Amino acid sequence: MKLTIERAALLKSLGHVHSVVERRNTIPILSNVLLDARDGRLGLTATDMDLTIVEEVAAEVGEPGATTAPAHTLYDIVRKLPDGAQIELAVQGDGGQMKLTAGRSTFQLATLPKEDFPAANDGELPQGFTMHSEELRHLIDRTRFAISTEETRYYLNGIYLHATKGNESQVLRGVATDGHRLARFEMSLPDGAAGIPGVIIPRKTVNELRKLIDETEGAIEIGLSDTKVRFKFDSTLLTSKLIDGTFPDYERVIPSGNDKTMNVDCKVFAKAVDRVSTISTEKSRAVKLSLEDGTLTLSATSPENGSASEELEVNYGGERIEIGFNSRYLLDIAERIDGGEAEFSLSDSASPTIVRDVSDSSALYVLMPMRV
Partner 1 sequence: MTEATPALCRDCLTLFEDTPAERCPECASPRLFAHGELPTLSLAHLDCDAFFASIEKRDNPELADKPVIVGGGRRGVVAACCYVARIYGVRSAMPMFKALERCPDAVVIRPDMDRYRAAGRRVRELMQDITPLVEPLSIDEAFLDLSGIETLHGGRPARSLARLVLDIERELGVTASIGLSYNKFLAKIASDLDKPRGFAAIGRAEALDFLAEKPVGIISGVGKAMQASLSRDGITRISHLRRYEEIDLIARYGAMGRRLYSFARGVDKRQVEPNAPTKSISAETTFDTDVADADELLSRLWPLCETVAARLKKSGLAGHGVTLKLKTRDFQTLTRSQRLQDPTRLADRLYRAAEPLLRKAADGRRFRLIGIGAHDLVDAALADPPSLLDPDIGRHAKVEAAMDRVRGKLGADAIVKGRGFKT
- Which residue from 127, 284, 290, 302 is in contact with partner 1, where contact means CB under 8 A? 284
Nearer to partner 1, 297 or 302 (CB): 302
| Per-residue contact string for residues 145-164; x = within reach of partner 1 by CB under 8 A | ---xxxxx---x--------
Nearer to partner 1, 38 or 180 (CB): 180
| Per-residue contact string for residues 58-97; x = within reach of partner 1 by CB under 8 A | ----------------------------------------
Instruction: State residue 295 phi and psi, 5-degree precision.
Output: -125, 130
Nearest approach, Cβ of residue 358 and partner 1 (Å): 23
Q: What's the per-residue H, E or C state across 118-185?
A: CCCCCCCCCEEEEEEHHHHHHHHHHHHHHCCCCHHHHHHCEEEEEEEECCCCEEEEEEEECCCEEEEE
Told to check if 370 binds partner 1 by CB under 8 A, we report yes
Query: Which of 67-75, 172-180, 206-214, 310-318 is the region at the interface with partner 1 (rule: CB under 8 A)?
Result: 172-180
Nearer to partner 1, 198 or 248 (CB): 248
Nearest approach, Cβ of residue 27 and partner 1 (Å): 16
| Per-residue contact string for residues 2-31; x = within reach of partner 1 by CB under 8 A | ------------------------------
What does the alpha-carbon distance between residue 68 and residue 110 come to, in Å, rounded to a whole number? 9
| Per-residue contact string for residues 248-267; x = within reach of partner 1 by CB under 8 A | x----x--------------
R_g of the chain computed on alpha carbons = 25
Angle separating helix axes 266-276 and 327-336, nearest 10 degrees: 160
Q: CB within 8 A of 44, min separation 6: which ones?
A: 13, 14, 16, 17, 33, 34, 35, 36, 54, 55, 56, 57
- What's the length of the chain? 372
For residue 251, the 8-state DSSP code is G
Told to check if 178 binds partner 1 by CB under 8 A, we report yes
Query: Which of 91-99, 178-186, 230-238, 266-274 is the region at the interface with partner 1 (rule: CB under 8 A)?
Result: 178-186
For the beta sheet containing 51-58, the strands, ordered from the edge strand earlier in sequence to the opposite edge, are 65-70, 32-38, 41-47, 51-58, 236-241, 228-232, 219-224, 127-132
Query: Which of 131-139, 214-222, 237-245, 364-372 is the region at the interface with partner 1 (rule: CB under 8 A)?
Result: 364-372
What does the alpha-carbon distance between residue 283 and residue 12 come to, in Å, rounded to a whole number? 40
Nearer to partner 1, 15 or 352 (CB): 352
Segment 179 to 238, residues that bind partner 1, using CB under 8 A: 179-182
C-alpha 366, offset from chain centre = 19
Kindly determine how many residues on this chain lie close enough to bind partner 1 according to the rule CB under 8 A: 23
Residue 304: closest CA among 272, 328, 280, 325? 280
Q: Residue numbers of the site for partner 1 (CB under 8 A)?
A: 148-152, 156, 177-182, 248, 253, 283-284, 350, 352, 366, 368-371
